[in-house]
Amino acid sequence: MTVKEDQIFSMNPPKYDKIEDMAMMTHLHEPAVLYNLKERYAAWMIYTYSGLFCVTVNPYKWLPVYNPEVVLAYRGKKRQEAPPHIFSISDNAYQFMLTDRENQSILITGESGAGKTVNTKRVIQYFATIAASGDKKKEDANPLLEAFGNAKTVRNDNSSRFVSYLLEKSRVTFQLKAERSYHIFYQIMSNKKPELIGREDH
């Protein structure tokens, strides 16, 4: 195989294999980043730091990394004291809020199917677990919000169709091929959730 010289990149030493923070790499370039993410993903390590950022590769399957015990394992830990995780980002924001007495933001971004909705739910789960029981109501509201606001798309079976919690109204009457309307309509029609169907007393 022949390649151009400008397409050859330096390889990182083996000690950087599956590194948790890619900002620590000797050679930081696109092939090194993609290789590291691929190797970590193959070992089901779906979270990886890149400096201040936490990169997530959507596994499209359930992994036992969101249990309440995992939440508690990240509580009060500095970022370097535990493996990369959305719970670490959440706890970091929580600790800064407590110490600096300032509002914090967590930006979750990515293309459709990247896992934004799931990671948003994990942030809410984290705060609901460590905070007062009142916040549990927000976590409990998720299934209802998903039923009315999520739909199947070509890339994601459970895609959030909210835009800052404003409903994508056009999806009620029109969907692209291989996509669906909101889950709530199918849940009602399937009768798998009979509690959704109101009954009249005669």
Does 164 count as an annotated binding residue? no
Token pair belonging to 161:
């169709």
Does 114 count as an annotated binding residue? yes
Does 113 count as an annotated binding residue? yes
Does 149 count as an annotated binding residue? no
Does 90 count as an annotated binding residue? no
Does 102 count as an annotated binding residue? no
The H or E element that residue 167 is part of is strand 166-167
Does 42 count as an annotated binding residue? no
Report which of 85, 171, 156, 172 is spatially closest to residue 117, judged by C-alpha positions: 156
Residue 142, amino acid: N
Which residues make beta-bridge pairs with 163? 166
Which residues make beta-bridge pairs with 166? 163
The H or E element that residue 145 is part of is helix 142-149
Does 128 count as an annotated binding residue? no
Helix (H, G, I), strand (E, B) or coil at 130: helix
* Torsion, Cα of 29, 58, 40, 43 (10° steps): -160
| Binding annotation | 110-117
Annotated binding site for ATP: 110-117
